[in-house]
Amino acid sequence: MTGKTDTNIKQTFANIVTDYWIVLVFLGIYLVFVILEPLCLSLPFWGSTFNYMAEILILGVGVMFVVITAGIDLSIGPVEGAVGVAAGLTIRSLLPVVGNGWAIIAGSAVGLLLGLLIGFLNGIVITKLKLAPFIATLGMSVILTGTGYILNNGLEVVGLPRVMGKIGNFTIMGFMGFTTIIALFATVVFGVLLKQTRFGIHTYAYGSNAESAKRAGIDVDKHIIRVYMISSGMAALSGVLLVFRFNTGSPLAGANVTLYAIAACVIGGTSVMGGRGRMIGTFIGALIIAILVTGLVMLGVQTYWQQVSTGLIIIFAVYADQIRQKKALK
Amino acid sequence: MGEPILSVSGVYKSFGHVQALKNVSFTLNKGEVLGLVGDNGAGKSTFIKVLSGVHKKDGGSINYEGKEVDFASPKDAIAAGIETVYQDLALAPDLPIYSNMFLGREMVRPGLLGKLGFVDKQAMRDSVLTNITKLKATLNHVEQEVGTLSGGQRQSVAITRAVIWGKKVIIMDEPTAALGVEESAKVLDIVNEIKKHGITVIFISHTIPHVMEVSDRICVLRLGETVADLKTSETSYEEVVQFITGSKTQINRK
Amino acid sequence: MKKKIIAGLLVLILAGTFSLAAAGAGEAADDGTKTIAFVQGLSTDEFYISMKRGVQEMCDELGYKLIVDGPTKWDYTMQTPIVETMIARKPDLMIIAPVHSDSMIAPLQKVVNAGIPVITVDTNINEEIYLCNITSDNLQGGQAAADYLAEMLGETGKVAIMNTNVGVTTTEARAKGFKDELAAKYPNMQIVSDEYCEDEAEKAASIIQAVHLKHPDLAGVFGVNLYASVGVANGLDSKGVNIPIFSYDASPAVIEALAEGIIDATVVQKPMEIGATAVKMASYYFNGEEDKITNVMVENVIATKANMDDPEVSKWFYVSD
Ligand SMILES: Nc1ncnc2c1ncn2[C@@H]1O[C@H](COP(=O)(O)OP(=O)(O)OP(=O)(O)O)[C@@H](O)[C@H]1O
Ligand SMILES: [Mg+2]
C-alpha cells in the first residue's frame, strides 16, 4: 500500500518535473543571481524585471496562438512601431480639435484597429493566397517597417500630451507598472481563452493536424484569420502602451522584440511544429528572458551575455521538448 | 425495399492529370449497409471524400434524401448528418481522446459562459466515457493524448466519434485495417448495431469476408469506375474478387 | 502557384528599383552648373536631415545643383548601392557620410576612379582617397559630455553609460570618448555600468533600475542616444530618482525631453555647419584653390535647460525636414 503511494508520488513528481521543468530552470537561474547578489531578492529588482518582461509577454501571449497553429508571425515588432507612430500622429493631429482626452482615446483606438486590420490582412494572405505564414508575415513586416518611416519620415512623434506619460508610468505597490499590470491581466485572459474555450481547442487542433480540424467541420480559414488578428492586436496593444509610457511614438519600437516574444513561447514549451503550448510556459519564458537582463546587470555583466544565454536556453528548451515527446511516444 | 437515401450517378473527379474517379454510380436505401470494395487506388477514398465534402466533384450527380447535393466543405456534410471515419483517421494527435471526439462541436457550459464559448470538459468526458463503455472500445483513459495511443486504439477513437455523431449516414474507410481479430469483430458488431438504429452505412474494406458479413449491397470500383453493383445475398466471395481484379466485368445486375 | 506569386512580387520590386534608378540617370547639368551629390548616413535621422539643410543652403548660395540620397538603415550594404547609383548620375563631386570606416572604402574608390572627388563628413574612412573630412567627432562629443558631467558632479561619484547596440561605430565612439575622458582626468569618478539597450527605451529603463538598485549612490548617467537616455530617465523617474542624465544629439524629441526636464543636458553637434563647410571645400576644389582644402573639426556644444533658449545654442538644434 505504502509502496504504491510512493510510486504514485514519484510518478506525480516526475510528471511535474517533465511538465514544469522550465519553472525549475527559472528558479535555478534566480537562485544563482540571489546567491551572487542578495539584492535580487528585493521588490524593486522584481519591479524592473517585470517592467521589461511586460512588453515581451504581451507580444508573446498573442504570437503564441499563431505558434500553436504551427505558424509564425514575424510582423509583430514592426506592428508595434507602425502602430506607435500612427497612434501618435492621430493624437497629435486631433489634440487641437477635440482636446487631450478624446484625442488619446481616438489615437489608441486607431492604433488597436490598425493592429487588428494588419492581422486580418496577414490571415487573408495566408488562408486565401495560401502563402506560408513565414513569407506572408515577413512581407508584412518589411511593408510595415517602410510604412512606419513613410508616416513620419522615420522620425519619432513628439509633442504628445504629458498626461499620457502619467498614465503609462502609473505604478501600484511601488513596483508594478501600468504595462506590467496589463500584461499579467492579458496573460490570464488569453490563458483562459486558450484552455477553456472552443476557440482555444480549435487552435490546438489546427496546429496538431490542420486537415483533421477542417474535416471535423471547423471553419479553419476564419479561425486562422482570427488567430493572426490576436497576434497583431496584442502587438498593437503593446505599441500603444509604449506611446503612453514614453510619450513618444517611435518607428524603431519593436525592432528587436519579435524574436524575443517568439523565444518566450518556445522556451515555455510551445512547439513550433504546432499543437502544444501553455500560457504559464510563455509567462515563464518571458520572465527568464527578462531576468537574464536585470540579473546580469546586477552582477555587472554586459547585457549582450543575456543574448547569448537566451539563445542557449532556446536550444536547450527545444531539445528538452523533443526528448520529452520521444519519451511520450514510447 | 426501403426508400433510397443516396443515389449516385456518373460522378467523376480528377487531380491534375490523374483521373481518380471516372464514373461512380450506385443507389443505396435507408438503413442499408453498402460494402465499397476495389483494389488499391481504385478511387474508394476519393469517392467518400467527395461524399463528405473534402473534395468537390468535377461532375456527375449525388442525390441525398431526395435532393441534389454538392457539399462545399466537411461542415456541410456533417450538417447533413453524414459522419466519416477517414482512412487516415483525421485525428488531432496532441489533443486528448475526449476533445477529438467532440472536435468542432464541443459541449459548452450553460448560460453566459457557454455563449462566450467556454467548454464543459466534465460533461464531454462523461459522455465519451459512456459511449466508450457502450461500444466496448479498448480505451482506458479519456484524457490520454491521441498521439500516444496504439494504431488500433486510434481507429477506435475515430469509429466511436463517427458513431456518436452519425445521424443518418456513417462512412467507414477501412475501419478494421489496424485492428486485431477480436477488435475487428467488435467493429462488425458495431456496424450491425448502428444498422438496427436505421442508420445507413458505407463500409470500405479489403477484407472481403468482413464485407460479405455486414453488407446488404456491394459496389465494386475499378480504376475509378463502378464495375459492379451487387446484392450481397446474390453474390459470392469469388465473384466479388473476380470483379475487383477485372477478370469479370458486368453491367449492373439488379 | 505559390512560387509564381513570390516570383511575381520579386519581379515587381526589382522593376521598381530599376526604374527609379533609371529615372535618375544622367541628371548632371550640362550648362556648366556644378552638381554635388550628397549621400547621407541615415536618411531618416534628424542629424543628417539637418546636415542636408546645411548642404542645400550653401549650394543655393554658391549656385550648385544638389542631388541627395541616403539609406533608411545604418548599414553599408544599403549605402553601397546608393553610392553606385550616384556614380551613374555623374555629379561633379560627392559629399558622403560613410556608415563604415572600412567597408565603404571600396565603393568610394569606385567613385574616385570615375573621376568624382569625394569629401567625407561625420564618419571618415581609413584610406586617404578623399579630399578632406569635415566632422564633429563622436569621440570628442563623448569627452565633452564627460567633462560637463564631471563639472556638475564636482568631479566625484558613480556614473553609468547606457549604450545602444554592440558594434555601431558612432555610439561606440561616444561611449569610448566618455570613458577615456573620465579615466584620464577624473580619478574620483567611477563608471559602474556600461550596458546596451538595443535601442529599446523600455529595456534601458529596466536596466538602469537594476543598476540603481545595485548602486543607490549612482550620481549621473550618459545615454548615447535618444532611446538610451529617455529610457534611463523613464526608469529612474518611476523610482523617484532624480540625477543628471545626459543625452546626445539635438533632435526635436531630445529637445522636448530637455525642455521638460526629463534629461538634463545633451551634446549638440552642428550638422548644418558640417554640411555647409563641406560645400565650401567643394567650391575651393571647383575654383582650383586646392591649397585651401583642409580637414575641419567642428566643435560640439552642450545644451542644458538653462541655456537652451539662447539663440547661440538653439540655432544648432536639428531640424526634421
Ligand atoms: N489529393 C490527390 N492528388 C492527386 N492524386 C490523388 C489524390 N488523392 C488520390 N489521388 C489518386 O487517385 C487515385 C485513387 O486514390 P484513392 O485513395 O481514392 O484509392 P483507394 O481506392 O482508396 O485505394 P486504397 O485501397 O489504397 O486506399 C490514386 O491513383 C491516387 O494516387
Ligand atoms: Mg483508400
Encode pLDDT of C233-265 as tens digits: 999 988 889 999 999 999 888 998 899 888 999
pLDDT in tens, C263-282: 999 999 999 999 999 999 99
Residues in B closer than 8 angstroms to A189, CB to CB, are none
**Total structural domains in chain A?**
1
Residues 6+ apart with CB under 8 A from A91: A103, A104, A106, A107, A160, A161, A164, A243
pLDDT in tens, C180-234: 999 999 999 999 999 999 888 889 999 999 999 999 999 999 999 888 999 999 9
A160 domain-assigned: yes
Complete DSSP assignment for C184-235: HH-TTEEEEEEEE-TT-HHHHHHHHHHHHHH-TTEEEEEESSHHHHHHHHHH
CA B191/CA B179 separation, integer angstroms: 15
- pLDDT at position C103: 84
Q: pLDDT band for position C10 (50/70/90)?
A: low
Q: What is the pLDDT along chain B (254 residues), one digit of tens a residue?
A: 578 899 999 999 999 999 999 999 999 999 999 999 999 999 999 999 999 999 999 999 999 999 999 999 999 999 999 999 999 999 999 999 999 999 999 999 999 998 999 999 999 999 999 998 888 878 888 999 999 898 889 999 999 999 999 989 999 999 998 888 888 999 999 999 899 999 999 999 999 999 999 999 999 999 999 999 999 999 999 999 999 998 887 654 44
Q: Please, which residues 26-55 of chain B have a Cβ atom closer than 8 Å to chain A?
A: 52, 54
Pick the more confident residue, C13 or A74. A74
**Which residue owns the Cα nearest ligand 1 atom 4?**
B15
> Cβ of A14: how many Cβ atoms within 10 Å?
11
> Mutate which of B12, B14, B18, B89 to test ligand 1's pocket (most atoms within 8 Å of Cβ)?
B18
| Single pTM value for the model | 0.86
Which residue matches cell numbers 450517378?
B9
Q: pLDDT band for position C19 (50/70/90)?
A: very low
Q: Nearest-CA residue of chain A relative to B93? A: A208
Query: Average pLDDT for residues A301-318, to the nearest whole number?
Result: 83
Taking ligand 2, which is a single-atom ion, which protein residues have CB atoms under 5 Å away?
A: B 45, 87
Boundaries of every domain in chain B: 4-245
CA triple A284-A290-A291, angle to 5 deg: 85
- Of C313, C217, C207, give the one whose Cα is nearest residue C265: C313
Beginning with the edge strand found earlier in the chain, give each strand of the sheet holding C245-248 in spatial order: C189-196, C157-163, C218-223, C245-248, C265-268, C301-304
For residue A88, report the distance from its CA to the centre of ligand 1, in Å: 57
Residues in A closer than 8 angstroms to C247, CB to CB, are none
Contact C321 A52 (CB under 8 A): no
Residues 6+ apart with CB under 8 A from C18: none
- pLDDT at position A33: 94
Q: Nearest-CA residue of chain B relative to A192? A: B118
A141 domain-assigned: yes
- Of A57, A98, A110, A69, give the one whose Cα is nearest residue A243: A110
Phi, psi dihedral angles at B54 (to 5 degrees): -75, -45
Q: How many CB pairs under 8 A join A and B?
A: 82
**pLDDT beyond 90 at A149:** no
For residue A222, report the distance from its CA to the centre of ligand 2, in Å: 29
Q: pLDDT band for position C127 (50/70/90)?
A: confident
pLDDT in tens, C44-89: 888 999 999 999 999 999 999 999 998 888 788 889 889 988 888 8
Which domain does A182 fall in, by range?
57-256+270-278
Say which DSSP state C88 is in: H
The answer to whether B108 faces chain A, any CB pair under 8 Å, is: yes
Of B86, B89, B93, the CB nearest to A208: B93
Are A250 and A149 a contacting pair, CB within 8 Å? no
A302 domain-assigned: no
Specify the fold of B4-245.
Rossmann fold (3.40.50)
A123 domain-assigned: yes
Indicate the SS3 state at residue B105.
coil
Are B212 and B237 a contacting pair, CB within 8 Å? yes
Are B205 and B51 a contacting pair, CB within 8 Å? no
Which residue matches cell numbers 526636464?
C261
Helices (H), chain C: 2-24, 46-62, 76-88, 105-113, 138-152, 169-185, 201-214, 226-237, 252-259, 271-286, 311-314
Contact A52 C192 (CB under 8 A): no
Domains of chain C: 2-137+270-299 (3.40.50.2300), 138-268 (3.40.50.2300)
For residue B22, report the distance from its CA to the centre of ligand 1, in Å: 13
